[in-house]
């Protein structure tokens, strides 16, 4: 494979960006539809090109941009989240006024930032990629035409995001000033000097705070419920999936610096993970808005993923990557149901799920599998992912964190079952059937099958993740 072929996903993103921009510049009522077609075509090509280059290995731009098994697996997950978010965002019946053409362009630019984040091993490049991804999302949240409150949520997201960005930049300045290096892997050796250790640890913690914000981990989670609730369904799906996977990857890269990052940051991250799981699950129990419930669920799910990073081992990192990819599928399936139940652009409540098994048996079954997977019920993919996470953490002696995660998984079953009860056991106030296109049906079948197949046979995904972990922790 030619060295430059390794950058095929980036080429596809650049060309897709030009195509979407050209579609939006054209006049006519169908500019948004053309932009969607261009974005979806590019997203599928991005997914294919990332899959083709999954085994690529090369360095570019004076070794500041690294393509390896780790970065390519992360890009594959981001591309999958992008494709599914675009599908959810498509102009469904009655949803045309809820989605603007610019949505597709900013989803694309955010994806570009996340893709660069996956390969960047130089701090300034990493920070700029984070800002590209973040500022695109700041624009996307208030773009929802039918929700005036989206502007308030967008402003809150912007203010909190700028605060997190400032903290990240402060940590970056400490690391560069202390070590004299902007390379991620040059920091560990330079900061290991005992006289610099404490300050370097502070700098790394502050720099990592920006990625904790992207993950919506406690105490950086306050933006998530409002953003999920007020953003359009597709944008909320993208924020919940693609951006989280990329943030997990960068967090893993930062915490893989060896003895320098070591035990102190691991303990702090473990406490953050436990608090995120506990707060997310307990607050989700009280929610009636389905998207808001999924937002607090996402806070808890981020905590589960971090359990693997805390283990600071190849098995733990591989488990975190496996669960990150599976989380994209689980959450996308849940948001697909939300988008089709709320096809008029509204946010469905639990009452809107009543009688769903009669109005659309396929959507009800997809929701059941997605929520069971998020809860970790066997034989779904969520169970396999959590088992790998818990096994890796237990192997490194984090038994108290595993017990806390298991208890929280049990708590989460309650509110997932409440949603399933509304869909299957409670009668609908109005027996309005939910109309699904052939694409909707195909997506439901594909996502449902993936949730079962990866639950029964996660071996191939685990093998890819282990190769990715070996690239990061040689």
What contacts 410, CB < 8 A, 6 or more positions away?
none
pLDDT in tens, 207-231: 888 778 878 888 888 888 888 888 8
pLDDT at 191 (0 to 100)? 58
What contacts 23, CB < 8 A, 6 or more positions away?
31, 34, 35, 37, 38, 101
Mean pLDDT of 443-448: 92
More confident residue, 406 or 143: 406
Helix (H) or strand (E) holding 348: none
Residue 149 pLDDT class (50, 70, 90 cuts): low
Residue 263 pLDDT class (50, 70, 90 cuts): low
Q: What does the mean pLDDT of the chain come to?
A: 84
Helix (H) or strand (E) holding 65: strand 65-67
Residue 192 pLDDT class (50, 70, 90 cuts): low
How many whole angstroms separate alpha carbon 268 and alpha carbon 257?
16
Domain count, the chain: 1
How many whole angstroms separate alpha carbon 118 and alpha carbon 123?
12
pLDDT exceeding 70 applies to what percent of the chain? 90
User: Are the C-beta atoms of 219 and 62 separated by less than 8 Å?
Assistant: no
User: Are the C-beta atoms of 360 and 294 separated by less than 8 Å?
Assistant: no
pLDDT at 403 (0 to 100)? 94
pLDDT at 99 over 50: yes
The two structure tokens encoding residue 195: 């006289």
Residue 188 pLDDT class (50, 70, 90 cuts): low
In DSSP terms, 349 is beta-bridged to 289
pLDDT at 325 (0 to 100)? 92
Residue 2 pLDDT class (50, 70, 90 cuts): low
How many whole angstroms separate alpha carbon 79 and alpha carbon 66?
18
The two structure tokens encoding residue 47: 């997914």
How many whole angstroms separate alpha carbon 458 and alpha carbon 435?
33
pLDDT in tens, 364-416: 999 999 999 999 998 999 999 999 999 999 988 899 999 999 999 999 999 99
Burial string for 72-110 (b: 16+ CB within 10 Å, else e) reads bbbbbbbbbbbbbbbbbbbebeebeebbbbbbbbbbbbb
pLDDT at 96 over 50: no
pLDDT at 342 (0 to 100)? 76
DSSP 271-313: HHHHHHHHHHHHHHTT--BHHHHHHHHHHHHHHHHHHHHHT-S
Backbone angles phi, psi at 34, to 5 degrees: -65, -40
pLDDT at 126 (0 to 100)? 86
Instruction: Point out the least confidently predicted range of 70-84, 110-124, 210-224, 445-459.
Output: 210-224
Instruction: Point out the least confidently predicted range of 107-111, 264-268, 333-337, 437-441.
Output: 264-268
Total-model pTM: 0.90
Mean pLDDT of 98-114: 83
pLDDT at 451 (0 to 100)? 94
Residue-range definition of the domain harbouring residue 128: 3-472
pLDDT at 258 over 80: no
pLDDT at 445 over 90: yes
pLDDT in tens, 12-64: 999 998 999 888 887 766 777 788 888 889 989 999 999 888 887 788 888 88
pLDDT at 148 over 70: no
């Amino acid at each position: 494979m030619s060295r430059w072929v390794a950058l095929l996903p980036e080429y596809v993103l650049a060309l897709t960006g030009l195509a979407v921009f050209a579609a939006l510049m054209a006049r006519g009522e169908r500019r948004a539809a053309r932009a969607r077609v261009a974005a979806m075509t590019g997203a599928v090509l991005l997914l294919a090109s990332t899959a083709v280059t999954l085994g690529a290995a090369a360095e570019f731009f004076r070794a500041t941009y690294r393509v390896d098994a780790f970065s390519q697996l992360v890009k594959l997950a981001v591309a999958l989240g992008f494709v599914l978010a675009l599908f959810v965002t498509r102009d469904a019946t009655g949803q045309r006024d809820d989605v603007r053409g610019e949505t597709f362009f900013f989803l694309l630019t955010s994806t570009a930032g996340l893709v660069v984040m996956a390969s960047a091993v130089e701090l300034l490049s990493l920070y700029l990629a984070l800002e590209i991804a973040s500022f695109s999302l700041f624009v996307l949240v208030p773009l929802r035409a039918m929700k005036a409150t989206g502007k308030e949520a967008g402003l809150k997201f912007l203010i909190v995001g700028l605060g997190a960005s400032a903290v990240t930049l402060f940590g970056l300045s400490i690391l560069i000033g202390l070590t004299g290096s902007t390379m991620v892997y040059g920091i560990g050796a330079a900061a290991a000097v005992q006289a610099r250790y404490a300050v370097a640890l502070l700098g790394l913690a502050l720099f990592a705070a920006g990625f904790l914000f992207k993950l919506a981990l406690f105490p950086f989670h306050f933006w998530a419920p409002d953003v999920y609730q007020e953003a359009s369904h597709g944008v909320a799906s993208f924020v919940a999936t693609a951006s989280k996977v990329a943030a997990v990857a960068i967090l893993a890269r930062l915490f893989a610096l060896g003895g320098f990052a070591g035990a102190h940051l691991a303990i702090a991250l473990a406490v953050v993970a436990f608090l995120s799981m506990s707060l997310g699950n307990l607050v989700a129990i009280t929610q009636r808005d389905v998207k808001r419930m999924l937002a607090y669920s996402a806070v808890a799910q981020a905590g589960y993923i971090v359990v693997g990073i805390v283990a600071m081992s190849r098995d733990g990192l591989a488990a975190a990557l496996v669960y990150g990819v599976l989380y994209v599928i689980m959450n996308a399936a849940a948001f697909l149901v939300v988008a089709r139940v709320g096809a008029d652009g509204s946010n469905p409540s639990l009452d809107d799920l009543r009688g769903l098994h009669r109005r659309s048996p396929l959507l009800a079954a997809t929701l059941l599998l997605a929520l069971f997977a998020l809860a970790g019920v066997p034989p779904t993919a969520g169970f396999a992912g959590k088992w790998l996470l818990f096994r890796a953490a237990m192997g490194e002696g984090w038994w108290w964190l595993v017990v806390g995660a298991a208890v929280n998984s049990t708590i989460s079953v309650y509110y997932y079952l409440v949603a399933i009860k509304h869909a299957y056991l409670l009668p609908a106030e109005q027996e309005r059937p939910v109309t699904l296109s052939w694409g909707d049906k195909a997506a439901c079948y594909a996502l449902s099958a993936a949730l079962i197949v990866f639950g029964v046979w996660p071996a191939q995904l685990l093998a890819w993740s282990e190769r990715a972990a070996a690239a990061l922790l040689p």
